[in-house]
Protein backbone atom coordinates (compact mmCIF):
# COMPACT_ATOMS: atom_id res chain seq x y z
CA UNK A 1 0.00 0.00 0.00
CA UNK A 2 1.37 3.39 -0.91
CA UNK A 3 2.28 5.97 1.77
CA UNK A 4 -0.58 8.26 0.69
CA UNK A 5 -3.13 5.48 1.16
CA UNK A 6 -1.86 4.74 4.69
CA UNK A 7 -2.31 8.40 5.54
CA UNK A 8 -5.92 8.30 4.37
CA UNK A 9 -6.87 5.03 6.04
CA UNK A 10 -5.16 5.74 9.43
CA UNK A 11 -3.05 3.29 11.41
CA UNK A 12 -1.83 0.01 10.06
CA UNK A 13 -3.40 -3.26 11.18
CA UNK A 14 -0.35 -4.07 13.28
CA UNK A 15 -0.45 -0.73 15.01
CA UNK A 16 -4.15 -1.13 15.75
CA UNK A 17 -3.52 -4.58 17.24
CA UNK A 18 -0.78 -3.23 19.46
CA UNK A 19 -3.09 -0.49 20.77
CA UNK A 20 -5.82 -3.00 21.48
CA UNK A 21 -3.48 -5.17 23.55
CA UNK A 22 -2.21 -2.20 25.59
CA UNK A 23 -5.71 -0.95 26.34
CA UNK A 24 -6.85 -4.38 27.44
CA UNK A 25 -3.89 -4.66 29.76
CA UNK A 26 -4.59 -1.28 31.30
CA UNK A 27 -8.24 -2.21 31.88
CA UNK A 28 -7.24 -5.49 33.52
CA UNK A 29 -4.91 -3.57 35.82
CA UNK A 30 -7.72 -1.18 36.88
CA UNK A 31 -6.41 1.51 34.65
CA UNK A 32 -9.53 2.29 32.66
CA UNK A 33 -9.01 5.96 33.23
CA UNK A 34 -5.37 5.78 32.22
CA UNK A 35 -6.35 3.96 29.02
CA UNK A 36 -8.81 6.61 28.09
CA UNK A 37 -6.19 9.26 28.65
CA UNK A 38 -3.70 7.34 26.55
CA UNK A 39 -6.20 6.97 23.73
CA UNK A 40 -6.83 10.69 23.84
CA UNK A 41 -3.33 11.29 22.65
CA UNK A 42 -1.69 11.71 26.06
CA UNK A 43 -3.14 15.18 26.71
CA UNK A 44 -4.12 15.98 30.28
CA UNK A 45 -7.88 15.94 30.67
CA UNK A 46 -9.76 18.99 31.82
CA UNK A 47 -9.84 18.97 35.62
CA UNK A 48 -13.15 17.78 36.95
CA UNK A 49 -14.48 19.75 39.93
CA UNK A 50 -15.50 17.39 42.72
CA UNK A 51 -18.94 18.03 44.21
CA UNK A 52 -18.34 18.89 47.90
CA UNK A 53 -20.19 16.75 50.40
CA UNK A 54 -23.04 18.70 51.98
CA UNK A 55 -22.17 19.95 55.45
CA UNK A 56 -24.47 18.59 58.16
CA UNK A 57 -26.99 21.06 59.42
CA UNK A 58 -26.11 22.34 62.87
CA UNK A 59 -27.94 20.41 65.57
CA UNK A 60 -30.72 22.35 67.13
CA UNK A 61 -30.08 23.22 70.76
CA UNK A 62 -32.75 21.65 72.99
CA UNK A 63 -34.77 24.24 74.84
CA UNK A 64 -33.22 25.10 78.19
CA UNK A 65 -34.74 23.25 81.08
CA UNK A 66 -36.44 25.66 83.46
CA UNK A 67 -34.49 25.90 86.70
CA UNK A 68 -36.19 23.72 89.28
CA UNK A 69 -36.96 25.38 92.60
CA UNK A 70 -35.06 24.03 95.56
CA UNK A 71 -36.83 21.19 97.34
CA UNK A 72 -38.58 22.40 100.51
CA UNK A 73 -36.94 21.38 103.77
CA UNK A 74 -39.34 19.52 106.03
CA UNK A 75 -38.84 20.22 109.72
CA UNK A 76 -40.67 18.36 112.49
CA UNK A 77 -40.95 19.13 116.20
CA UNK A 78 -41.77 16.81 119.08
CA UNK A 79 -42.66 17.86 122.60
CA UNK A 80 -41.67 16.89 126.11
CA UNK A 81 -39.42 13.86 126.48
CA UNK A 82 -40.12 12.94 130.12
CA UNK A 83 -38.35 9.79 131.36
CA UNK A 84 -40.41 8.97 134.43
CA UNK A 85 -39.23 6.12 136.67
CA UNK A 86 -41.38 3.65 134.74
CA UNK A 87 -39.92 4.91 131.43
CA UNK A 88 -36.42 4.31 132.75
CA UNK A 89 -37.39 0.88 134.05
CA UNK A 90 -38.72 -0.12 130.63
CA UNK A 91 -35.64 1.28 128.89
CA UNK A 92 -33.17 -0.68 131.01
CA UNK A 93 -31.81 -3.82 129.40
CA UNK A 94 -30.93 -7.10 131.16
CA UNK A 95 -27.21 -6.42 130.68
CA UNK A 96 -27.50 -3.05 132.44
CA UNK A 97 -27.59 -0.95 129.28
CA UNK A 98 -30.37 1.34 128.09
CA UNK A 99 -32.58 1.55 125.02
CA UNK A 100 -34.94 4.53 124.76
CA UNK A 101 -35.17 4.30 120.98
CA UNK A 102 -37.45 1.24 121.17
CA UNK A 103 -40.41 3.39 122.23
CA UNK A 104 -40.37 5.29 118.93
CA UNK A 105 -40.58 2.31 116.56
CA UNK A 106 -44.25 3.02 115.81
CA UNK A 107 -43.47 6.46 114.33
CA UNK A 108 -40.26 5.50 112.54
CA UNK A 109 -41.52 6.39 109.02
CA UNK A 110 -42.59 9.85 110.20
CA UNK A 111 -39.22 10.46 111.82
CA UNK A 112 -37.32 9.29 108.75
CA UNK A 113 -39.27 11.66 106.48
CA UNK A 114 -37.90 14.77 108.21
CA UNK A 115 -34.90 16.85 107.14
CA UNK A 116 -34.50 18.28 110.65
CA UNK A 117 -36.06 17.28 113.97
CA UNK A 118 -36.66 19.43 117.04
CA UNK A 119 -37.02 17.79 120.46
CA UNK A 120 -37.49 19.09 123.97
CA UNK A 121 -35.26 17.12 126.34
CA UNK A 122 -37.27 17.91 129.45
CA UNK A 123 -34.71 16.62 131.97
CA UNK A 124 -30.97 16.49 132.63
CA UNK A 125 -29.09 13.53 131.21
CA UNK A 126 -26.21 13.88 133.64
CA UNK A 127 -25.71 10.16 134.10
CA UNK A 128 -25.41 7.68 136.94
CA UNK A 129 -23.01 9.85 138.94
CA UNK A 130 -25.95 12.16 139.77
CA UNK A 131 -28.40 9.31 140.41
CA UNK A 132 -31.05 8.15 137.93
CA UNK A 133 -34.43 9.47 138.99
CA UNK A 134 -37.88 10.44 137.75
CA UNK A 135 -40.57 12.79 139.01
CA UNK A 136 -40.29 15.22 140.74
CA UNK A 137 -36.48 15.65 140.50
CA UNK A 138 -35.43 14.15 137.20
CA UNK A 139 -32.13 12.85 135.91
CA UNK A 140 -31.63 10.39 133.06
CA UNK A 141 -28.62 8.31 132.07
CA UNK A 142 -26.37 9.80 129.40
CA UNK A 143 -27.77 7.12 127.06
CA UNK A 144 -31.04 9.07 127.05
CA UNK A 145 -29.35 11.87 125.09
CA UNK A 146 -27.53 9.28 122.96
CA UNK A 147 -30.80 7.62 121.93
CA UNK A 148 -32.69 10.86 121.36
CA UNK A 149 -29.98 11.81 118.89
CA UNK A 150 -29.02 8.49 117.33
CA UNK A 151 -32.27 6.53 117.38
CA UNK A 152 -34.91 9.25 117.31
CA UNK A 153 -33.04 11.76 115.14
CA UNK A 154 -33.25 14.79 117.44
CA UNK A 155 -30.79 17.31 116.06
CA UNK A 156 -32.41 20.61 117.15
CA UNK A 157 -32.44 20.12 120.90
CA UNK A 158 -33.96 22.38 123.55
CA UNK A 159 -32.56 22.25 127.08
CA UNK A 160 -34.33 25.36 128.41
CA UNK A 161 -37.14 24.04 130.60
CA UNK A 162 -38.26 23.99 134.21
CA UNK A 163 -36.54 20.65 134.95
CA UNK A 164 -33.18 21.50 133.34
CA UNK A 165 -31.67 22.51 136.69
CA UNK A 166 -33.04 19.58 138.71
CA UNK A 167 -29.42 18.57 139.38
CA UNK A 168 -28.12 22.12 139.54
CA UNK A 169 -25.50 23.82 137.40
CA UNK A 170 -23.29 20.73 137.69
CA UNK A 171 -26.06 18.61 136.20
CA UNK A 172 -26.42 21.06 133.31
CA UNK A 173 -22.67 20.89 132.69
CA UNK A 174 -22.75 17.08 132.69
CA UNK A 175 -25.73 17.12 130.31
CA UNK A 176 -23.91 19.44 127.93
CA UNK A 177 -20.85 17.19 128.14
CA UNK A 178 -22.99 14.18 127.18
CA UNK A 179 -24.20 16.07 124.10
CA UNK A 180 -20.70 17.26 123.19
CA UNK A 181 -19.82 13.80 121.91
CA UNK A 182 -23.04 13.55 119.91
CA UNK A 183 -22.62 16.75 117.88
CA UNK A 184 -26.25 17.69 117.23
CA UNK A 185 -27.00 20.36 114.66
CA UNK A 186 -28.04 22.82 117.38
CA UNK A 187 -28.33 22.64 121.16
CA UNK A 188 -29.72 25.60 123.06
CA UNK A 189 -31.03 26.85 126.37
CA UNK A 190 -28.72 25.59 129.16
CA UNK A 191 -25.08 26.59 129.44
CA UNK A 192 -21.73 26.08 131.13
CA UNK A 193 -20.40 29.60 130.68
CA UNK A 194 -21.40 33.14 129.64
CA UNK A 195 -19.64 32.56 126.32
CA UNK A 196 -21.67 29.44 125.65
CA UNK A 197 -24.88 31.23 126.59
CA UNK A 198 -24.22 34.10 124.16
CA UNK A 199 -23.22 31.88 121.22
CA UNK A 200 -26.16 31.31 118.87
CA UNK A 201 -26.34 27.84 117.35
CA UNK A 202 -26.71 27.99 113.55
CA UNK A 203 -26.52 25.06 111.16
CA UNK A 204 -26.93 24.75 107.41
CA UNK A 205 -29.14 22.21 105.64
CA UNK A 206 -29.28 22.20 101.81
CA UNK A 207 -28.16 25.82 101.70
CA UNK A 208 -30.67 27.04 104.32
CA UNK A 209 -29.18 28.43 107.53
CA UNK A 210 -31.32 27.67 110.60
CA UNK A 211 -30.81 29.15 114.07
CA UNK A 212 -32.27 27.71 117.27
CA UNK A 213 -32.73 30.03 120.26
CA UNK A 214 -34.30 28.66 123.48
CA UNK A 215 -35.87 30.17 126.59
CA UNK A 216 -37.69 28.86 129.67
CA UNK A 217 -40.31 30.74 131.66
CA UNK A 218 -38.97 29.52 135.02
CA UNK A 219 -36.91 26.85 136.79
CA UNK A 220 -38.16 24.43 139.45
CA UNK A 221 -34.78 24.65 141.20
CA UNK A 222 -32.78 27.78 142.03
CA UNK A 223 -30.38 28.60 139.21
CA UNK A 224 -28.14 31.44 138.14
CA UNK A 225 -28.78 33.64 135.13
CA UNK A 226 -26.10 32.01 132.98
CA UNK A 227 -26.86 28.30 133.36
CA UNK A 228 -30.42 28.66 132.03
CA UNK A 229 -31.86 31.03 129.39
CA UNK A 230 -34.90 32.69 130.99
CA UNK A 231 -37.68 34.51 129.16
CA UNK A 232 -37.55 37.39 131.64
CA UNK A 233 -33.94 38.28 130.81
CA UNK A 234 -34.76 41.05 128.35
CA UNK A 235 -31.15 41.84 127.44
CA UNK A 236 -30.37 38.18 126.72
CA UNK A 237 -33.51 37.73 124.62
CA UNK A 238 -32.71 40.83 122.55
CA UNK A 239 -29.05 39.87 122.07
CA UNK A 240 -29.66 36.26 121.03
CA UNK A 241 -32.50 37.19 118.70
CA UNK A 242 -30.40 39.89 117.01
CA UNK A 243 -27.53 37.45 116.47
CA UNK A 244 -29.85 34.76 115.15
CA UNK A 245 -31.62 37.10 112.74
CA UNK A 246 -28.25 38.35 111.44
CA UNK A 247 -26.72 34.90 110.95
CA UNK A 248 -29.59 32.72 109.72
CA UNK A 249 -32.25 32.49 107.04
CA UNK A 250 -34.73 31.00 109.51
CA UNK A 251 -34.96 31.58 113.26
CA UNK A 252 -36.69 28.94 115.39
CA UNK A 253 -37.47 29.94 118.98
CA UNK A 254 -38.14 27.27 121.59
CA UNK A 255 -40.36 28.60 124.39
CA UNK A 256 -40.99 26.46 127.48
CA UNK A 257 -43.96 28.23 129.03
CA UNK A 258 -47.68 28.12 129.77
CA UNK A 259 -50.08 26.65 132.31
CA UNK A 260 -49.60 22.94 132.88
CA UNK A 261 -52.46 20.67 131.76
CA UNK A 262 -54.37 23.57 130.19
CA UNK A 263 -55.36 23.85 126.53
CA UNK A 264 -55.76 27.61 126.99
CA UNK A 265 -53.00 30.02 126.00
CA UNK A 266 -52.25 32.50 128.77
CA UNK A 267 -51.26 36.16 128.62
CA UNK A 268 -47.58 35.57 129.33
CA UNK A 269 -47.40 33.26 126.33
CA UNK A 270 -49.05 35.69 123.92
CA UNK A 271 -46.90 38.58 125.14
CA UNK A 272 -43.61 36.72 124.77
CA UNK A 273 -44.67 35.28 121.43
CA UNK A 274 -45.35 38.73 120.01
CA UNK A 275 -42.09 40.04 121.43
CA UNK A 276 -39.86 37.44 119.80
CA UNK A 277 -41.94 37.57 116.62
CA UNK A 278 -41.18 41.30 116.34
CA UNK A 279 -37.51 40.49 116.98
CA UNK A 280 -37.52 38.23 113.92
CA UNK A 281 -38.66 34.74 114.95
CA UNK A 282 -39.97 32.72 112.00
CA UNK A 283 -41.30 29.80 114.07
CA UNK A 284 -42.04 29.49 117.79
CA UNK A 285 -42.27 25.95 119.19
CA UNK A 286 -43.99 25.89 122.56
CA UNK A 287 -43.60 23.15 125.16
CA UNK A 288 -44.37 22.84 128.87
CA UNK A 289 -48.16 22.51 129.33
CA UNK A 290 -47.95 18.72 128.63
CA UNK A 291 -51.10 19.00 126.50
CA UNK A 292 -51.93 20.48 123.11
CA UNK A 293 -52.64 24.18 122.57
CA UNK A 294 -53.60 26.17 119.44
CA UNK A 295 -51.49 26.95 116.39
CA UNK A 296 -51.58 30.45 114.88
CA UNK A 297 -49.75 32.97 112.71
CA UNK A 298 -48.65 36.27 114.27
CA UNK A 299 -47.95 39.42 112.21
CA UNK A 300 -44.55 40.85 113.03
CA UNK A 301 -42.92 44.26 112.93
CA UNK A 302 -41.07 43.76 109.62
CA UNK A 303 -44.26 42.88 107.75
CA UNK A 304 -43.68 39.12 107.84
CA UNK A 305 -45.47 36.57 109.96
CA UNK A 306 -44.49 34.03 112.59
CA UNK A 307 -45.83 30.50 112.95
CA UNK A 308 -46.61 29.79 116.60
CA UNK A 309 -47.24 26.36 118.08
CA UNK A 310 -48.28 27.35 121.61
CA UNK A 311 -47.88 23.79 122.89
CA UNK A 312 -47.10 20.56 121.10
CA UNK A 313 -47.71 18.51 124.26
CA UNK A 314 -45.81 15.45 125.44
CA UNK A 315 -44.16 12.85 123.27
CA UNK A 316 -42.50 10.33 125.63
CA UNK A 317 -43.86 9.95 129.17
CA UNK A 318 -45.96 7.76 131.40
CA UNK A 319 -48.34 10.48 132.52
CA UNK A 320 -51.87 9.31 133.25
CA UNK A 321 -54.48 11.34 131.37
CA UNK A 322 -55.35 10.88 127.70
CA UNK A 323 -54.74 14.56 127.01
CA UNK A 324 -51.20 14.16 128.44
CA UNK A 325 -50.66 11.10 126.27
CA UNK A 326 -51.84 12.77 123.06
CA UNK A 327 -48.98 14.55 121.35
CA UNK A 328 -48.20 15.82 117.89
CA UNK A 329 -45.44 15.62 115.34
CA UNK A 330 -45.59 19.27 114.33
CA UNK A 331 -44.38 19.82 110.78
CA UNK A 332 -43.62 22.78 108.54
CA UNK A 333 -41.72 23.42 105.32
CA UNK A 334 -38.94 25.91 104.63
CA UNK A 335 -39.16 27.17 101.04
CA UNK A 336 -36.71 29.52 99.31
CA UNK A 337 -38.47 31.93 96.94
CA UNK A 338 -37.16 33.48 93.71
CA UNK A 339 -35.79 36.47 95.59
CA UNK A 340 -33.70 34.18 97.81
CA UNK A 341 -35.73 34.62 100.99
CA UNK A 342 -36.84 31.56 102.94
CA UNK A 343 -40.50 31.28 103.88
CA UNK A 344 -42.26 29.06 106.39
CA UNK A 345 -45.16 27.21 104.80
CA UNK A 346 -47.56 24.29 105.17
CA UNK A 347 -47.94 23.64 108.91
CA UNK A 348 -49.03 20.04 109.44
CA UNK A 349 -49.80 17.86 112.44
CA UNK A 350 -49.58 14.10 112.92
CA UNK A 351 -51.33 13.30 116.19
CA UNK A 352 -49.66 10.65 118.35
CA UNK A 353 -50.69 8.44 121.24
CA UNK A 354 -48.38 7.34 124.08
CA UNK A 355 -49.48 3.86 125.16
CA UNK A 356 -48.52 1.55 128.00
CA UNK A 357 -50.03 -1.61 129.47
CA UNK A 358 -51.60 -1.32 132.93
CA UNK A 359 -54.21 -3.65 134.35
CA UNK A 360 -57.27 -2.28 136.18
CA UNK A 361 -55.96 -3.87 139.40
CA UNK A 362 -52.54 -2.21 139.04
CA UNK A 363 -54.18 1.11 138.25
CA UNK A 364 -56.53 0.84 141.22
CA UNK A 365 -53.58 0.09 143.48
CA UNK A 366 -51.64 3.07 142.12
CA UNK A 367 -48.76 0.77 141.13
CA UNK A 368 -47.01 3.22 138.81
CA UNK A 369 -43.95 1.03 138.29
CA UNK A 370 -46.17 -1.71 136.85
CA UNK A 371 -46.70 0.31 133.65
CA UNK A 372 -44.99 -1.56 130.82
CA UNK A 373 -45.13 -2.19 127.07
CA UNK A 374 -44.51 1.46 126.18
CA UNK A 375 -45.05 2.58 122.58
CA UNK A 376 -45.73 5.73 120.58
CA UNK A 377 -48.01 5.38 117.55
CA UNK A 378 -49.95 7.69 115.23
CA UNK A 379 -53.28 8.39 116.90
CA UNK A 380 -55.13 7.34 113.74
CA UNK A 381 -53.69 3.81 114.11
CA UNK A 382 -54.26 3.47 117.84
CA UNK A 383 -57.88 2.29 117.99
CA UNK A 384 -57.21 -1.08 119.62
CA UNK A 385 -54.64 0.40 121.99
CA UNK A 386 -57.05 3.09 123.13
CA UNK A 387 -59.73 0.49 123.71
CA UNK A 388 -57.32 -1.55 125.85
CA UNK A 389 -56.46 1.58 127.85
CA UNK A 390 -60.11 1.98 128.86
CA UNK A 391 -60.49 5.69 128.21
CA UNK A 392 -63.90 5.15 126.62
CA UNK A 393 -62.90 7.26 123.62
CA UNK A 394 -62.25 6.12 120.06
CA UNK A 395 -59.24 7.24 118.07
CA UNK A 396 -61.56 9.18 115.75
CA UNK A 397 -63.14 11.06 118.66
CA UNK A 398 -59.78 11.94 120.19
CA UNK A 399 -58.46 13.07 116.80
CA UNK A 400 -61.47 15.33 116.28
CA UNK A 401 -61.10 16.87 119.74
CA UNK A 402 -57.36 17.42 119.22
CA UNK A 403 -57.88 18.99 115.80
CA UNK A 404 -60.36 21.43 117.33
CA UNK A 405 -57.74 22.45 119.91
CA UNK A 406 -54.99 22.98 117.33
CA UNK A 407 -57.29 25.06 115.14
CA UNK A 408 -57.80 25.76 111.47
CA UNK A 409 -54.29 27.01 110.66
CA UNK A 410 -52.80 23.51 110.64
CA UNK A 411 -53.52 20.54 108.37
CA UNK A 412 -54.06 17.28 110.26
CA UNK A 413 -52.39 14.31 108.59
CA UNK A 414 -53.43 10.77 109.55
CA UNK A 415 -49.85 9.51 109.63
Are 226 and 320 members of one domain? yes
Give the residue ranges of the chain where pLDDT is below 50: 1-49
Beta strand 250-256 with 283-287: parallel, antiparallel or unpaired? Answer: parallel
- Whether 62 maps to a domain, the answer reads no
Alpha helix segments (H runs only) across 56-122: 85-91, 108-112
- Whether 57 maps to a domain, the answer reads no
- Which pTM value belongs to this model? 0.84
Are 312 and 385 members of one domain? yes
DSSP per-residue letters across 349-392? EEEEEEEEE--HHHHHTT-GGG-EEEEEEEGGG-HHHHHHHT-S
pLDDT tens digits, one per residue of 51-106: 555 565 555 666 655 555 578 999 999 999 999 999 999 999 999 999 999 999 99
Distance CA 181, CA 368 (A): 34
**pLDDT at residue number 54:** 57
Alpha helix segments (H runs only) across 84-209: 85-91, 108-112, 142-147, 168-180, 194-198
Domain residue limits at 263: 73-413
Q: Which long-range contacts (CB under 8 A, 24 or more apart) does 299-302 make?
A: 301/277
Are 155 and 19 members of one domain? no
Q: What CATH number is associated with residue 202?
A: 3.60.21.10
> 310 phi and psi, to 5 degrees?
-65, -35
Name the domain count of the chain: 2
- Whether 50 maps to a domain, the answer reads no
**pLDDT at residue number 70:** 74
Distance CA 168, CA 174 (A): 10
Are 32 and 81 members of one domain? no
**Within a 10 A sphere around the Cβ of 360, how many other Cβ atoms?**
8
Are 77 and 164 members of one domain? yes
Amino acid sequence: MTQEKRARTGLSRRARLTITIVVAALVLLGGGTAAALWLGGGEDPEPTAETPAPEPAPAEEPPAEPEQPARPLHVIAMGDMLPHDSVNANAQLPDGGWDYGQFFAGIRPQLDAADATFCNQEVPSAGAEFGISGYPVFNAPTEFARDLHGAVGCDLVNLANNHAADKGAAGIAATRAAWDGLAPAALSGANRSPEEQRAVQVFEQDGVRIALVSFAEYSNAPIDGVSLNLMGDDALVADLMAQARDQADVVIVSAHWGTEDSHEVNGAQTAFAQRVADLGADVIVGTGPHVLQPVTWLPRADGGRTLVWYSIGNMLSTQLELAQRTGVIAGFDLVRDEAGAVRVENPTAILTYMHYEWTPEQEAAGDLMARHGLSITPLAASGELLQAARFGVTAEQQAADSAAILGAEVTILPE
